[in-house]
Amino acid sequence: MTAKQFCQLLNDSKYIKMAKGKGRRVREKGKLRLSQYFKSIDDGANVAVVIDAGVRASFPKRIRGMSGKIKTSRGTFKEVELKDGNKLKTFIIHPIHLKKL
């Protein structure tokens, strides 16, 4: 992507300028999809961490984009095992921030 194409993308009316140059489509701004909020993911499934900005995320931003395996459930939340450096760490994450791989 060239610099010119990037500038056109940011100036496109479909996108809203947000902090650090990230764009989010206008129709999805602040939108909470209930099917995503109540989705069920089985234990042992491989998932990726994708933060949904419409819901508060109470885990470190450094794990954004990482992939791991679901260990167990804690109510509606999931315990996800991620490799942080050389260590396996367990994070408790809401399913709205998880995407099946």
Measure the CA–CA gap between 28 and 89, rounded to whole angstroms: 32
pLDDT at 22: 55
pLDDT at position 18 is 52
In this prediction, residue 23 carries a pLDDT of 57
In percent, the amount of the chain with pLDDT more than 70 equals 71
Same domain, residue pair 14 and 52: no
With cut-offs at 50, 70 and 90, classify the pLDDT of residue 36: confident
19 with 36, same domain? Answer: no
- CATH code, 59: 2.30.30.70
User: Do 59 and 20 share a structural domain?
Assistant: no
Distance CA 88, CA 80 (A): 10
One domain, residues 4 and 39: no
Say what the pLDDT of residue 68 is: 95
DSSP 55: S
Q: What is the mean pLDDT of residues 61-77?
A: 92
Chain-centroid distance, C-alpha 16: 19
Count how many domains the chain has: 2
Q: Note whether 94 and 45 are same-domain residues.
A: yes
